[in-house]
Amino acid sequence: MTAGAHLKTISRYYDGCSTGDVELMRETLAEDVVHYFLAPNPGSAPVRGGEHLARYWRKVHRLIDAVWVVDHILDGHGEAVIEWTMYWTPQDTERRVATRGAEWFTFGPDGRITEIRSYYRQHEDGDTELDDFPYVDRGYSGHGTENSNLHTPPVEEARA
């Protein structure tokens, strides 16, 4: 797999997450995929299985109107590490919150995702990001432009 192929697979996975498209997510996931989460975030227990994970993200998308953007990628043989931003709306508010994080992906021989290890803190009361990091200047996404130099989710036009 090349760097471009991993980015394409990860972007398609997040496009499925951002639209609640179970089939799109399933196309990118191995049947026995495992997604690990950093505790004590909401829902930090691992999610196992492609169908289960895709339905999990569809539910999350519907609950908080989540949109994921791939901001940066480091790629290796059978693995990739990304930085991402999830824009979402806490319940009982209209304010969008940006949660920034990193994930480590592993891929099977067929190029589908076999494991995701997720590192982030999610807080309803505001953005979580590196203090004073020049995100937008470096091509990362930002409020009002929920896309990056690497990835434009299919829902961006509806938010503009």
CA-based nearest residue to 88, from 54, 116, 52, 128 = 128
Tokens of 66: 């989540």
Q: What's the pLDDT at 158? A: 42
Q: What's the pLDDT at 51? A: 98
Q: How does pLDDT run across 62-72, given as a tens digit for each residue?
A: 999 999 999 99
CATH, residue 144: 3.10.450.50
Number of other CB atoms surrounding residue 144 within 10 Å: 9
CB-based contacts of 56: which residues, under 8 Å, 6+ apart? 35, 43, 47
Q: How does pLDDT run across 16-38, given as a tens digit for each residue?
A: 999 999 999 999 999 999 999 99
Q: How does pLDDT run across 78-135, given as a tens digit for each residue?
A: 999 999 999 999 988 889 999 999 999 999 999 999 999 999 988 888 899 999 999 9
Residue 56 has pLDDT above 50, yes or no: yes
Q: What's the pLDDT at 157? A: 47
Task: Count how many domains the chain has.
Answer: 1
Q: What's the pLDDT at 150? A: 93
Tokens of 118: 């997720």
**Contact of 96 with 64, CB cutoff 8 Å:** no
Residue 31's domain comprises: 3-159
| Residue whose tokens read 């930085």 | 83
Q: At what angle do helices 50-64 and 3-19 cross, to 10 degrees?
A: 50
Q: What's the pLDDT at 2? A: 59
